[in-house]
């Protein structure tokens, strides 16, 4: 089945068994009738950026095809985060699961609930490197080719943490 839209999602967790949580989130996304998983990156271990002292994250990127609108996709994501006891009490704090919409087609959206492309994706190795792994022609709208953006980030250590 051909889906109407293509989106890039960034997934991360650093509370509990983060890899198992990301696998569960992937399975919930795959089970949604309006979402088709196109590609998934390797899992990576990354140090937190900003925020309080906290454990390292496990991160990955997923490319999906969907018939949902950006807000419809955000609703599905919030439901999946809620299933994993996501708490939104501290900005950039530890979390059981965080799923961000990095891009949605080539749309530019600036809503109080959703900004696309993700406003900090261009400076986050944990988004760019896994994304480049699954799409070597990736372009971040408003910022350029992901392969060029990766060259600008050299201060964020990432360690491959296996497959899903």
Cis peptide bond upstream of 117, omega within 30: yes
Q: Which listed CATH number (3.30.70.560, 3.40.50.2000, 3.30.450.20, 1.20.1050.10) goes with 5-162?
A: 3.30.70.560
Q: Which residues, at least 6 apart from 87, have a Cβ–Cβ distance to it below 8 Å?
A: 95, 96
Summary mean pLDDT of the chain: 91
Mean pLDDT of 97-119: 94
pLDDT tens for each residue of 140-151: 999 999 999 999
Give the residue numbers annotated as catalytic, written as ranges: 86, 95, 98, 100
pLDDT tens for each residue of 35-61: 999 999 999 999 888 767 879 999 999
pLDDT for the residue 23: 97
């Amino acid at each position: 089945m051909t889906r109407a839209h293509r989106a890039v999602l960034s997934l991360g967790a650093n509370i509990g068994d983060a890899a198992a949580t990301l696998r569960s989130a992937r399975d919930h996304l795959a089970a949604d009738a309006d979402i088709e998983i196109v590609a998934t990156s390797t899992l990576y271990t990354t140090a937190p950026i900003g925020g309080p002292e906290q454990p390292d994250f496990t991160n990955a990127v997923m490319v999906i095809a969907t018939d949902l609108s950006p807000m419809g996709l955000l609703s599905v994501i919030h439901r999946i985060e809620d299933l994993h006891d996501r708490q939104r009490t501290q900005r950039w704090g530890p979390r059981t699961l965080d799923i961000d919409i990095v891009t949605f087609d080539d749309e530019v959206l600036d809503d109080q609930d959703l900004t696309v492309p993700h406003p900090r994706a261009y400076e986050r190795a944990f988004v760019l490197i896994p994304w480049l792994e699954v799409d070597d022609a990736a372009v971040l709208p408003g910022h350029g080719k992901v392969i060029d953006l990766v060259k600008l980030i050299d201060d964020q250590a990432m360690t491959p943490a296996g497959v899903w």
